Amino acid sequence: MIKTAIVWFKTDLRITDNETLVKALEKSECIIPIYCVDESHFKETKYGFKKTGSFRAQFLLEALEDLKNSLEKLGSTLVILKGKPETEIPKIVKEFKVQKVYAKKEIAFEEKKTEQKVQEELFKLKCEFEAISTSTLYHAEDLPFSIKTIPDVFTDFRKKTEKESKIRPCIAQPTQIKSPVLPQTKIPTITELGLELTPLDSRSVLQFKGGEKEALNRLNHFFYETKALGTYKETRNGLVGADYSSKFSPWLALGCISARTIYFEVKKYETLFGSNSSTYWLIFELMWRDYFRFMFKKHQTKFFISSGIKENKKMNTNTNATLIADWINGNTSSDFINANMIELKLTGFMSNRGRQNVASYFCNELNLDWRIGTAYFEQQLIDYDVSSNWGNWAYIAGVGNDPRGHRFFNIEKQANEYDKKMEYRNLWLK
């Protein structure tokens, strides 16, 4: 038994189905829950956009507040550290004679690099480190493939995985947490992060609020209050309103809810109200989320280079600032693109249908370097998730996992099909 361990929260801001937290509690007498506010997450990237914009930052701060409250109810708290994890975590290790640090396992390049740096510093202090995979529906070890042999075509991955792999049960939340006397720390304000709170636009699909409690409220609303889950497959290409799709993405991105929790709740819903193609389709979409994560594990940094996972494919390198600004501000020649881009700018959210269209427009009609559009999404999206964002963009740019090679959306046709009555365009353009 270890005397004191740290639980380093990152994008797993929940206490239910959090294996990292539960494992640390099982193996140690007391734990120190920490979160590191790393300034570099709020700086500009090489593409000239912020790494985190105000919508996601605000959502993150709310999620931290909620996690802190939950931990306090269990007898502990959340220690907020400000600075680089590799500098700040060792300070706590020294002060509290911590023997082991538990954290969520990372898959993307920058996050893995930080994980490594922390590990190196801990090694010098003879402090152990364990990273645990907690963000996917299927555990990587339970897949019918090794990471290297996961097919580059989603359908091949899905069919075999559905047939041969099982989803592990959720892990119950702890009932009590023992911690040493910990310093009272403050969650920063959005201004302290160098950002400004953007007032909520009344046309926003939802008043997103960060935290596990809000994630569960949203699940309850979508599954039970409205039973919108039962018609999800028919409504999921919608553009207006809260319930055409689940809107789980911001909570999933920060780990306020686990994909497994959603899965088992779908199973419960199916027992109560029956299964249909809609209940299945939500799980199907969660498998896409898993897939991009596993693709990141397989191809690593390739998703950040111009040719993506397509060796040496020549791509547009155009960085025309006027075209980019017109796309961002909704000043293009397409009213459908403009409506979507204005929604993103003013709310931090855009439907999946919208995302596909604006990404295709950026790559295929404006012929710009796809990574610039991706980086703008990274700043702006309330639900930004490294693998889902870069993976989907690469897919549309024709350098990712699209078996067709290159998808070209006919924007006018899409607008006529999905916004026949101009309801969406009128909402954002008038």
State in angstroms the smallest separation of the CB of 392 from ligand FAD: 3
Q: Which amino acid is at 182?
A: L
Could you say whether residue 328 binds ligand FAD (CB under 6 A)? no
Which of 58, 327, 378, 64 shows the shortest CA–CA distance to 199? 58
Contacts of 194 (CB under 8 A, 6+ apart): 42
- Residue 160: exposure state from Cβ atoms within 10 A (0-12, 13-18, ≥19): middle
Q: How far apart are CA 287 and CA 137, in angstroms?
A: 7
Closest to ligand FAD by CB, 79 vs 282, is 282
Among 8, 223, 292, 336, binds ligand FAD (CB under 6 A): 292
CA distance 29 to 78: 17
Residue number with CB closer to ligand FAD (102 or 222): 222
> Which of positions 243-282 make contact with ligand FAD (CB under 6 A)?
245-249, 252-253, 282
The yes or no reply on residue 394 touching ligand FAD (CB under 6 A) is: no
**Of 352, 367, 418, 427, the one binding ligand FAD by CB under 6 A:** 352
Tell the smallest beta-carbon distance from residue 37 to ligand FAD (Å).
Answer: 21
- Using CB under 6 A as the binding criterion, the count of chain residues that bind ligand FAD stands at 29
Residue number with CB closer to ligand FAD (94 or 268): 268
Q: Output the 3-class SS for 60-95.
A: HHHHHHHHHHHHHHCCCCCEEEECCHHHHHHHHHHH
- Residue 31's Cβ-side half-sphere holds a number of Cα atoms within 13 Å equal to 28
CA distance 335 to 340: 9
Kindly state whether residue 68 participates in binding ligand FAD, applying the rule CB under 6 A.
Answer: no
For the bound state, the minimum distance from the C-beta of residue 201 to ligand FAD, rounded and expressed in Å, comes to: 17
Token pair in block for residue 186: 């403050």
Tell me which residue has tokens 């493939």.
145
Vertex 216 angle, CA 211 and 218, to 5°: 95
Q: Which is nearer to ligand FAD, 90 or 255 (CB)?
A: 255
Interaction of residue 377 with ligand FAD, rule CB under 6 A: yes
Among 11, 76, 114, 388, binds ligand FAD (CB under 6 A): 388
> Which CB, 84 or 236, lies closer to ligand FAD?
236
For the bound state, the minimum distance from the C-beta of residue 403 to ligand FAD, rounded and expressed in Å, comes to: 15
Q: How far is the CB of 71 from ligand FAD (least distance, A)?
A: 25
Burial of 269 (0-12, 13-18, 19+ CB in 10 A): buried
Interaction site with ligand FAD (CB under 6 A): 236, 245-249, 252-253, 282, 285-286, 288-289, 292, 351-352, 355-356, 359, 377, 381, 383-385, 388-389, 392-393, 396
